[in-house]
Homo-oligomer: A and B are copies of this chain.
Amino acid sequence: MLVVMKRGATQQEIDAVVARIREFGITPVPLPGAERTAIGTFGSTSREAADAVESLPGVAEVVPVSRPFKLASREVIPTDTVVRIGDVPIGASAPLAVAAGPCSVETREQTVATARAVRDAGAAALRGGAFKPRTSPYQFRGLGESGLDILAEARAETGLPIITEVLTPGDVDAVARVADCLQIGARNMQNFALLDAVGEQSKPVLLKRGMSATVEELLLSAEYVLAKGNRNVILCERGIRTFEKYTRNTFDVNAIPLLKRLTHLPVLADPSHGTGKWYLVAPVALAAVAAGADGLLIEVHPSPDHALSDGYQSLTFANFAALMATVPEVARAVGRTAATSAVRA
């Protein structure tokens, strides 16, 4: 970190900061300047030390330097990680992969029909919610465990591995018995008890960015899972909250190449939540592929205007198939291959 002293800070104030830093076992380096003094401290600076120093007399500002994430960092692990969901590899060296399916599992028919449709269009995995977080207690909250059974049936029928959300530590075992990949939703990105719990089991984890989380916070939440021993973490950009009102969220396309630069973990894009409007999903999905995403997460529903949740951002089978016809073209244009059902069959 770098401790910037105020203009006119006294020598005693500077000495006190130097002494306080030493208490944390860190070596301070005073840097007298024309306008003011700064004190550099390199090595394994803890956040606690930074916080402690910031309120000392004469201190103007404390600037952290070392990146606070380690296992998620490309500086520590330079090689791209490939995570397997079932037998589908996801990552920079794997073909681009698309996971698709309904926001909520509603019925066996709806789910199996959707699984078939998305597989036939080239999807590599099925995503669907059995446990659903909802802003209001009066909204449909998912079928729960019977929803998991339906997802397992859909997998048996189509061969597609399953991604589904887990909401609370108490459900991790039940969901992990069925799912091929556990999703941590945006609202739970900083539910640290849940991150610990999925870090202690072995199924891969799809971690969605919180709606107002910085990229650094997303990487620190990944670090929770990695630090518990589960190294199979996939990140997902799904839109952030801004002042813009036409769209439900603002898809942060910058985050795709930024994450690819900062971390070795695979990065997916969710343009369904990232836009909140079905008619924006396809162009933003293609944008994410062009920006370097390792895959997509798309909401598809047999009859979006009858969906029990998020219908207005779901694609019909036909619209999804049309999108999937273009995805490989864009992927090839930026130098990567796209998995298709033909390739996987």
Interface, chain A (partner B; CB < 8 A): 2, 4, 6-8, 20, 29, 31-36, 38, 40, 42-44, 46-48, 51-56, 61, 63, 65-66, 68-70, 75, 133-141, 167-170, 187-188, 190-194, 211-212, 214-217, 220, 223-224, 227, 240-247, 250-258, 261, 274-275, 277-280, 283-284, 286-292, 304-312, 314, 326, 329-330, 332-334
- Chain B residues lying within 8 Å of A326, measured Cβ to Cβ, are 333-334
Please name the residue on chain B nearest to A191 by beta carbon.
B191
Partner of A333, one of B20, B168, B217, B330: B330
- 24 pairs, CB–CB < 8 Å, chain A vs chain B: A2-B63, A31-B40, A33-B43, A34-B44, A35-B44, A35-B66, A36-B65, A46-B138, A51-B307, A53-B305, A54-B305, A56-B305, A61-B65, A68-B136, A68-B138, A169-B170, A170-B193, A187-B191, A246-B258, A254-B274, A254-B280, A257-B283, A284-B291, A287-B288
- Chain B residues lying within 8 Å of A61, measured Cβ to Cβ, are 65
Report how far A236 CA is from B267 CA in the complex, Å: 28
Output the residue of A133, A135, A168, A277 with the most chain B CB within 10 A.
A135
> Is there contact, CB below 8 Å, between A247 and B240?
no
> Is there contact, CB below 8 Å, between B254 and A241?
no
> Is there contact, CB below 8 Å, between A223 and B51?
no
Partner of A311, one of B54, B188, B224, B275: B54
- Chain B residues lying within 8 Å of A250, measured Cβ to Cβ, are 240, 242, 250, 252, 254
Report how far A184 CA is from B304 CA in the complex, Å: 35
Report how far A158 CA is from B135 CA in the complex, Å: 39
> Is there contact, CB below 8 Å, between B278 and A287?
no
Report how far A312 CA is from B139 CA in the complex, Å: 33
Report how far A217 CA is from B63 CA in the complex, Å: 20
> Is there contact, CB below 8 Å, between A254 and B257?
no
> Is there contact, CB below 8 Å, between B257 and A280?
yes
Report how far A45 CA is from B164 CA in the complex, Å: 29
Partner of A287, one of B227, B240, B287: B287
> Is there contact, CB below 8 Å, between B167 and A192?
yes
- Chain B residues lying within 8 Å of A284, measured Cβ to Cβ, are 253-254, 257, 291
Report how far A258 CA is from B271 CA in the complex, Å: 13
- Chain B residues lying within 8 Å of A240, measured Cβ to Cβ, are 242-244, 250
> Is there contact, CB below 8 Å, between A43 and B51?
no
